[in-house]
A and B are shown apart, each in its own frame.
Chain A
């Protein structure tokens, strides 16, 4: 059987810029859903949006960790190695970026690099492919980039997600930053996003 490699960006300069800009907008305005158009057709279970962020942000300088479903498909590693040149690492704590196709089984946050007090920017960025992504419901957040409060409903996620995020935010300035991708869209959740308890929200 002939094995051909799926194509990368047709126009790496402008497609890479557009994907980065969507990620920049998403992280600087947590809870807002951004459109993310891509013509990539990577090998499953790597979805096109996950591949687009990987191609736009990673290269030989950024160790990348793949979750179990992505690791189980050799074509995914071959695709990423060829198009990005990023070293694929087995230990999640060595990764600058983690690509997660099965967010419900996302490893504990402590497994990833949290950064150090002097260099909090050395923490990992997790990119999760979710099925639902909406800002009309879900947990509420406040903080930088958010006018008042914002909702972000992403799933499926582990049952202890709320306490994980509360701990991640409490460790600020250390902590992980998340990008959620779904079909043709993207949202960001930086460590600065503070979970807002529902009872603490003003009744209107």
Chain B
């Protein structure tokens, strides 16, 4: 009756609950606890091979598998959409291996796994947001050596990152970084928020939900606890600013949300619609309409 090796097999799949074995879950859970205690610091973990290729969210899937319980309600989004390949396949994966309930409604979910967006609807205290992360190291393209970037984090030496943002200003007249925009967490670690548009950076600050980040290929887990100060790096004379859209969503008329450009024909026709499909559908159900609806 030792817990090591005892397995609850999910009905019909032959896999343990949520796919991973219990020893792997414990290892990931310990990494998550340390990540929470050191906000923004990248905890190394022994990421496993998953039944999907790297780049399809193996890190996020492992974090989700480690925290998921039978009573959780899971939502998965890919660039804000619940109905694209990555989101559908991951949702199906956990339906099959864990039998958990899934939803597309942000408000109903207890665990939300995301690829590159934060939902438009405000998150709440009972929720956990799990990010899929390709390159967790914000300094990687400035300093390729892991031994060096680790020292830079240990010394809180982030001058390089400010040089990068300054070079943006020197070349373009403004900070041209628009996604994976570096943030400082709780006044200490500089962190890569994953390739979310910088539009979403302000939502990370003082967020009531726990935010967990999993990078499978790079084998790192990091976290932002709830109600943690998250500051986008900037300069006094070039303050951080989010993208603005000069028109509302063509389907629901929403303003102040992140929009995707949709090409309609080969004659230059296009429309801009909410990237968050749940937000757009909820608004349309409430009777809001845009110019194309």
Contacts and interface: CB of A to CB of B under 8 A. Distances in A.
A24 B32 contact: yes
Contacts of B229: 144
Contacts of B17: 13-14, 17
B8 A14 contact: yes
Interface stretch (A77-85, A101-109, A131-139, A153-161): A77-85
Interface residues of B, number: 49
Interface residues of A, number: 49
A20 B36 contact: no
Interface string A116-147: 11111101010000000000000000011111
B51 interface: no
B36 A17 contact: no
A62 interface: yes
Contacts of A116: 154
Given A83-B3, A144-B39, A144-B225, A125 B33 contact: yes
Contacts of A119: 44, 150
Given A12-B3, A55-B3, A173-B188, A118 B151 contact: yes
Contacts of A17: 17, 25, 67-69
A24 B25 CA distance: 13
A61 interface: yes
Nearest to A123: B34
A29 interface: yes
Contacts of A85: 2, 4
A28 B226 contact: yes
A18 interface: yes
Most chain B beta-carbon neighbours within 10 Å: one of A21, A82, A125 = A21
A74 B70 CA distance: 36
B228 interface: yes
Nearest to A143: B186
B226 A59 contact: no
A20 B29 contact: yes
Majority SS at the chain A contact face: loop
A57 interface: yes
A27 B31 CA distance: 13
B155 interface: yes
A23 B30 CA distance: 10
A191 interface: yes
A90 B27 CA distance: 23
A57 B3 CA distance: 11
Given A21-B67, A61-B27, A147-B227, A177 B34 contact: yes
A61 to B, nearest CB: 7
Contacts of B226: 28-29, 145, 147
Contacts of B34: 121, 123, 177
Most chain A beta-carbon neighbours within 10 Å: one of B7, B36, B66, B69 = B36
A172 interface: yes
B2 A62 contact: no
A147 B25 CA distance: 30
Contacts of A18: 69
Contact of A59 (B26, B150, B188): B26
Interface string A23-36: 11001110000000
Interface in A149-193: 172-173, 177, 190-192
B19 to A, nearest CB: 12
B20 to A, nearest CB: 10
Contacts of A61: 23, 26-27
Interface of A: 7-9, 11-14, 16-18, 20-21, 23-24, 27-29, 55-62, 82-85, 96, 116-121, 123, 125, 143-147, 172-173, 177, 190-192
Interface of B: 1-4, 6-8, 16-17, 22-23, 25-27, 29-39, 41, 43-44, 66-70, 150-151, 153-155, 186, 188-189, 210, 223-229
18 contacts: A9-B3, A12-B3, A12-B6, A13-B7, A13-B8, A24-B32, A27-B37, A27-B225, A55-B3, A57-B30, A85-B2, A96-B30, A121-B31, A144-B225, A145-B225, A145-B226, A173-B189, A192-B39
Given A11-B8, A23-B33, A147-B227, 6 more contacts: A16-B3, A56-B26, A61-B26, A62-B30, A83-B3, A191-B37
